[in-house]
Amino acid sequence: MATDYFEVEDVVKSYDSRIFRRILSYLKPYRKLAALIISALMLATVGELLLPLIQQQVIDDAVLARFLTIRTDKTDAALSEAARAYLAHLSASPQSVALAPYLFVPQNNKLRLPRALEQEFVAAGLIESEAWYVFTVKTAADPSVAVVEAHPDLFITEAGAPAVGCSYAIRRSDLTALQRAEIAAVRHADRAHIIRGVLVMLALLIGVFLGTFVQTWHSNLVGQYVMKDLRLALFKKTTAQSTAFLAKHPVGRLVTRLTGDVETINEFFTSVLIAFLKDFSIMIGAFITLFILSPQLALITALTLPPVLVIALVSRRKALEAFRNQRIASSRVNAYISERLSGVQVVQLFHAEQKSCREFNERNAELLKANLAELYVFALFRPTVEWFSTFTTAVVIAAGSALVLNLSLSLGSLIAFVNLIGMFYFPVTDIAEKYTMLQSAMAGGERIFALLDTEQYIQDTGTKSLERQQIHGHIVFSDVYFSYKAGEAVLKGLSFTVKPGEMAAIVGYTGAGKTTITNVLTRLWDLDSGVISLDGTPLQDIPLEVLRRSVLPVLQDVFLFSGTVADNIRLGLPLSDEAVVQAAEAVYADEFIRALPEGYKTKLSEGAANISAGQRQLISFARVIAHNPAVVILDEATSSIDTETERLIQLGMQRVLAGRTSLVIAHRLSTIRHADRILVLSGGTVIEEGRHEELIARNGMYANLYRLQFGGD
């Protein structure tokens, strides 16, 4: 059953490096696009990581503008050697401002005072407890100059220093006592700094947007290109396979390879691969930035990672199991739907609707259970990761606040740290959610490459160059053995000869091997042993293109493609409209074709359901005549035709088959009474041979078949 096949086939791998590398190999023709994608991805990632750092700088340098105030008029004899060295380092820093009797050190996370030294400075009385604001006059038009001139007693500056290029300091309490306009004038440089920071962040956001757009557009473009290449490769491989291969693989399975499985590869490139690269880049970049901002807080963050990793591993195993069950259940539902809808008329005729509904409900319930199990895994995993993210943020805020209060960390750094924690944990959740897509891609890739690696096609070993005009149609079967399955021979030492231009009919009970003759004569299947020759040349020595252009069958089940009637007659040949009409006239199909709504341009529906079975047979005859083969095989060609249409075919065949070798395989003996020779098959070999009258007189199997069909004794 189809369900059994799907259950066995749908084995899902979580990850396979061999399949992964092979999928990536399809990127080779698009290396430049791949390099562009990675470059855009890296630029967007760097932009996202820089945003918290810009925020930190704006907050510390412009919004808060805090300074550590160290008195320089007190002795530092009590300080340790390390403390004096660090004090000298602070004094020499270009960011520090020395205005006697103070040294102002900006608290922007670049000149942090180590905790041990801070306690030593406080014990020595070098740390000023009152907060100060320090600024530098850049130009003569600086609005802060007017405020300094209006309140000279509130500001301290360098002795005798000019206004331009001079640094000033004012106590925070005095600054807040000024009028609002004066405060704005003093801090106008900070406002300009904030505007510059905002513009930089805006530029970064635009860069992130452009990088993300380029990465998204081109990754989807590459995915589409790869899908196109894979579909073409799969289609070429499938159409080149032998009939033995196609007989073992249902059409639905092959269609799934070319559609659903290929789509999983597209998702791999557009959603999985790029997402993984970006997520890992963000995680690594954010983690490094955390350690740059504050090693203490970064260590706290790192301590929360082990439980998250354990949860991720457990969820991965559970997700794999849930995904496997979901795929199996989904395949069973799809297979059941396909089977029952294909045979819906039989279901209705035998009143099996309720039974089918019960069976479908069981499979549907299994699918629901599998889907809920898969949802449960992700519904549990995401909140768990978010809880750890929130918990880590809370711990960092608590620890970071203590560092901010004792001046070991700037407030801007703490805010940036909190943002980076969110950036760090989001990829963890995203990777887990993309894991299902990775599983689909691995499973789809495995099935695609299994098909691409299959080599079950008829070897084109023909080396003899022949033209159609050189083939006369002399067919010889010599001791031919053939079996579809090993050990179950269908043809058993079959030998017969058909002369050029002769019409040979082949009859026999069902299973005698009549249709098999068509398969081996056109090399849709290769022989187990024996030789079939055409004009003295073994079929293996004739190129397949020449053989199949010279020997054309009209199969038992006529297949017409969606398209116009004329296109189905041409079937790839560059025939003129006149040649198409001549082929149709030869088999008396022209009259009914012209009666169609648009004549030869009438569109046939899927399976040519908008015309009758007899009309489909006539079009298939016209198609064979248009291709002008040397040998024509009619396999049950008139089994679905009414009496009037059969009469037209008989008239057409008398003209068309003249001068051609033809094999007519039929149960309706009325169509072969005028055959030059009739071959009677039984058990895979010829047991009777002769004309109609001779075989009737012989009173053997043919005579028995004739009596059974026409009601004789």
Instruction: Assign residue 690 the CATH number of its domain.
Output: 3.40.50.300
pLDDT tens by residue, 618-660: 888 888 888 888 888 887 655 555 666 667 666 666 665 667 8
Percent of the chain with pLDDT over 70: 92
> Is residue 570 a part of any domain in this protein?
yes
**Total length of the chain:** 713
Is 189 part of any domain?
Answer: no
Tell me the pLDDT band of 208, cut-offs 50, 70 and 90: very high
> Which 3 state secondary structure label does DSSP give 684?
coil
442/576 same-domain check: no
pLDDT tens digit sequence for 84-128: 888 888 888 888 899 988 999 887 656 666 767 777 888 888 888
Is residue 161 in a domain?
no
**The 3-state secondary structure of 103-115, one letter per residue:** EEEECCCCCCCCH
Q: What is the pLDDT of residue 33?
A: 93
For residue 321, the model assigns a pLDDT of: 77
Question: E strands within 26-182?
Answer: 67-71, 97-99, 102-106, 132-136, 155-157, 167-171
Query: In terms of domains, do 231 and 329 share one?
Result: yes
Mean pLDDT to the nearest integer, 63-77 = 80
Report yes or no on 342 lying in a domain. yes
Answer for the pair 625, 580: CB distance below 8 angstroms, yes or no. no
Average pLDDT, stretch 202-230?
93
Residue 617 lies in a domain: yes
The H or E element containing residue 653 is helix 643-656
Q: 653 and 512 in one domain?
A: yes
Give the pLDDT score at 5: 39
- Give the tens place of pLDDT for each residue, 412-438: 888 888 888 888 888 877 877 777 778
Q: 76: pLDDT confidence band, cut at 50, 70 and 90?
A: low
Q: Do 350 and 421 sit in the same domain of this protein?
A: yes
| 416 and 513 fall within a common domain | no
Task: Report how many domains make up the chain.
Answer: 2
Q: Which long-range contacts (CB under 8 A, 24 or more apart) does 255-259 make?
A: 257/447, 257/448, 257/451, 258/231, 258/234
Q: Say yes or no: 413 and 560 in one domain.
A: no
Strand partners, 551: 631
> Are residues 445 and 559 located together in one domain of the fold?
no
Q: Which domain holds residue 706?
A: 501-523+545-710
Select the highest-mean-pLDDT range: 371-375, 408-412, 460-464, 697-701: 697-701
The answer to whether position 489 is within a domain reads: no
Q: 638 and 509, same structural domain?
A: yes
| Residue-level pLDDT at 642 | 64
Question: Strands, E, within 390-487: which ranges?
Answer: 475-485
Q: What is the mean pLDDT of the chain?
A: 83
Instruction: Please give the pLDDT value at position 241.
Output: 81
User: What percentage of the chain carries pLDDT values higher than 90?
Assistant: 22
* Top-confidence residue, 316 or 17: 17
Q: Residue 203: its pLDDT value, please?
A: 95
Peptide bond into 250 cis (omega under 30): no
Residue 109 falls within a domain, yes or no?
A: no
> 393 and 518 share a domain?
no
Residue 614 covered by a domain: yes
pLDDT of residue 3: 39
